[in-house]
Amino acid sequence: MIAGAGLQVRPAVLTDRRQIASLIQRSSQVHRHLDWRDPLDWIGSSPFFVLEGLGQVVAALGCPPEPPSVAWLRLFVNSDRVPVQDSWKILWDAALAELGQKGLFIAAAIVLQEWLTDLLHSSGFTTRQSIVMLERDAGSPAEMTLPQGISMRAMMPFDLPAVAEVDALSFELLWQNARSVLEQAYPQAGWATVAEMDGQVIGYQLSTRNSLGVHLARLAVRPDMQGKGLGYALVADLIQQTGRHGISHLTVNTQSDNVTSQVLYQRMGFHETGDRYPVYQLSVC
């Protein structure tokens, strides 16, 4: 066990990538944000710190803000050689000091493993809501009727600026996807669709394929076009598209306090899996 006095914290650099990757592979204490980017790709963005002991990286923490006022905990990994409470306090204090210099921020984390909960509580994080997981298995195809004057087509790279605008209008700050995030997400999509009216993008869905089926990763409709059945139509179209490829299992997640989306998905045959993941938040001044 490495004593706290022998630990040093510093910003992560690209040459740390191999050591951090090795630590992620062998450690039992690893938190990775549900993100389009590999957490190691954030090295070089701040704050991202490593903890060294005896010349070796024994812990790492990264929470670079994106969008600019939201700092998700994108990676925290700790070696079994150091008490996790010590590593967390040293690294989070360093990250918090850097975030504080940038002004008012929201720091947030989705807890996928219970061991992280006590660490977040110790640093003043409080529960905000939960992520609710839903799934849909084989069933009757969903009927799709587009509102008058609206058309749908496959999303193209040139749509991304307009898609980012729809996203920013449709979600509160914590859940917005910046254009840079969407540029990462688009090439990973199995199915991506936009809805248009008068040549303007007013809604979209983006889904990924996995070994079990398809995950509806993002669904957004411009606020002034909500309540017209457009969200239903986008999901119904996805169900039809995936069905033509022999895929019947779809998953999606939403926030526990987003009743509108939960009702939509339940109408379309989705049901809760029973998995819920708490979201913790801290305001940084």
Q: What is the CATH number of the domain that holds 14?
A: 3.40.630.30
Look at residues 78, 95, 124 and tell me which one is the last residue of a structural domain. 124
pLDDT score of 147: 80
Tell me: do 119 and 142 sit in the same domain.
Answer: no
118 in the same domain as 38: yes
The string of pLDDT tens digits covering residues 216-239 is 999 999 999 999 999 999 999 999
Residue 211: Cβ within 10 Å count: 4
Residue (of 33, 139, 50) closest to 91 by Cα position: 50
Distance, in Å, from the CA atom of 46 to the CA atom of 26, rounded to the nearest integer, reads: 25
Same domain membership, residue 87 and residue 62: yes
Same domain, 93 and 171: no
Among candidate residues 35, 101, 90, the one with its CA nearest the CA of residue 58? 90
Q: Is residue 282 part of a domain?
A: no
* Judgement on whether residues 137 and 263 belong to the same structural domain of the protein: yes
Predicted confidence at residue 140, as pLDDT, reads 63
Give pLDDT, residue 1. Answer: 45
Confidence at residue 54, expressed as pLDDT on a 0 to 100 scale: 80
Question: Can you give the residue range of the structural domain that contains 183?
Answer: 133-275
Q: What is the pLDDT of residue 276?
A: 95
- Same domain for 220 and 187: yes
Cα–Cα dist 88/55, whole Å: 19
Q: What is the pTM of this model?
A: 0.89
In this structure, are 258 and 144 located in the same domain? yes
Looking at the fold, whether 145 and 260 belong to one and the same domain comes out as yes
Instruction: Specify whether the CB–CB gap between 112 and 31 falls below 8 A.
Output: yes
From first to last of its 285 residues, the chain has per-residue pLDDT tens of 454 557 899 999 999 999 999 999 999 999 999 888 999 999 999 999 999 988 899 999 999 998 888 999 999 999 988 999 999 999 999 999 999 887 768 999 999 999 999 999 999 999 999 999 999 987 666 677 788 889 999 999 999 999 999 999 999 999 999 898 999 999 999 999 999 999 999 999 999 998 889 999 999 999 999 999 999 999 999 999 999 899 989 999 999 999 999 999 999 999 999 999 999 999 876
The total domain count for the chain is 2
Judgement on whether residues 94 and 182 belong to the same structural domain of the protein:
no
